[in-house]
Chains A and B, each alone.
Chain A
Amino acid sequence: MKENIVYFDNSATSWPKPKEVLKSIKYFTNEIGGSPGRSGHRMSIEASRLVEETREVIGEFFNYDNTSRIVFTKNITEALNICIFSLLKPGDHVITSSTEHNSVMRPLRFLEKKGLIISIINCSPNGNINISDIEKNINNNTKMVILTNASNVIGTILPIDEVAKITYKHKIPFVIDCAQTAGEIPINVNLKKYKNCVITFTGHKSLLGPTGTGGMCIGEDVKLMPIIFGGTGSKSDKDVQPDFLPDYIESGTLNILGLAGLKAGVSYLLKIGLNNIRNHEKLLLSKFIEGASKIKNIIIYGSKDPDAQVALMSFNFKNINPSTAGLILDKKYSIMCRVGLHCNPNAHKVIGTFPGGTIRFSFSYFNSLEEIDYSINALSKMSKIK
């Protein structure tokens, strides 16, 4: 099956993974075993070592050497929830954008029912925000700004470095959702300087690790709380949660197999170099935009500028709906993609595709220009379906 697959669903999860990822998981399973931070024998110690090495690799990647403040979670949704439920309470004010994923909007809407006040900064149909709108909305009660680095529907890269400066000036925690950007573009927020920021990441997309991995790098001025309490392997004589990071937030046995894979995935990125990855993905995106723009009956959304967005593209046919298109792409052309609303109804409202949704192609370093050509040819044929 693998031979003929064209995988354009990397924004949902990346595939394939570098061979080193499976090798690392296999090595851990067969040779190390052990539960990190629990026992004192060599297998457990080696597992603890692997966890710390994974923190170091993540730290190198995000240019943040305070590994105690690099916390692992089961996915980025959990990391975002920890930030939201730690920093916001009824009556507080939060600023966010109109292209946020449900992993941000659903917890915010839940808290809104209990009295949270939400300001939503409207994005243009290209997915951009006006930075001055953020500063204008800050008041004495603003307890957090939370933004996606790039939406999973439109892909436009938001200027998080500028927002980091504004929020730092106002001493407001800034939580950055890097689900679609970590591993694809540089995250230009220096946490050593902007200590009010939190970079949240998923492990299984552009960081090339397995599902079940994610986490966050927490600036030193941000005080978070756990949403799960329990065993940490530390302060075991006390039945209250230890108050130091990362243990404070990392209760329960970590996903050590996942972290073994994540370490290998990020190490691979560091070896190849983010610039090389970004350049290749921009090339794929340019070629796709060029080809798809020429097809009658196709509408492309977003900036259409490879420099301004990550390597994903939402589009629609005028003659077939996204669901049918997804089925044909899979069954007839073996092109895997995601159609519909992408857990992000708000972004679809911004580009005017709610409730029907779009077809989304999302590329990775492992896609080729030949695959783009093949897909353009398929889309061209589909555009003629009556």
Chain B
Amino acid sequence: MASERVIWLSEQRVGSSLVARIGRRGDDLLAEFPGTGVLTANLKSSRANFEPVRGANELAVKKINASLVTALLRHLRGGLTLHASATGIGESAVAFVGPSGSGKSTMAAALCARPDTQLVADDTIAFELDEDSFSTFDVDVSPTQAEAWLLPDALRFLGFQGDGSEKVPVSLRNPTKTRLSLRAIVGLVFDARAHQPTIRSLRGHEAFQLLSSSVIRFVIDDPAAQAREFEQLCRVAHSCKILELRRSRSLRDLDRSIELVGRLYYSRGIEEGDLL
């Protein structure tokens, strides 16, 4: 009913700016992206509509449609999606999570400059977790985006043309079209005190916290959805390495970061000493 009040249940801010919020209006679920559009759906996801705001930036509408809108509707159908970028080599993928501005897209784009590396995702990674195969060792991810959205300094550093101050989409060579096995999830952290990039394993609650903070959820007040997510995250955490990469904000650290991350594609049993 159009006159019903919206109850906002969660919001995401970057600095002081509201970038997204999730709410309910009666039985409908709402996701609002201020200045860009509003997604409305019912719980069964049998009815869903993304309505761009009049005068919204076309590129922003396209980006949200290809990433967050798809991820939110996947969540309604029981799917697990993380806010992450990912790249692949052969049949293996590595994903990068972290807050907005932590360098997920830059890392993916920089890796894709290597001849053997393909883009799997720029903003959201979609897990393929079949309910009846929870005991299997691998978790797969499906390709979700074929473009990386980069800030001007990252664009120029990686040799692309670009100006202005906003992120712009860049088509990368060879976006993958097939499901890949996820080897590792890397939390990206900027650390002004880091003399050089370092990578370490996260265990237990620390690993779980990183995964949980990256989940894209449309239904956030349903215990059954919470329980399902718990099982899904347990499976992900058991099946692939969860790590943290600390580096300075300098793009000059990118080469060393890529060298560290590059090892993750080839070995499931990386020793702690190899990571540092």
Partners in one complex: no
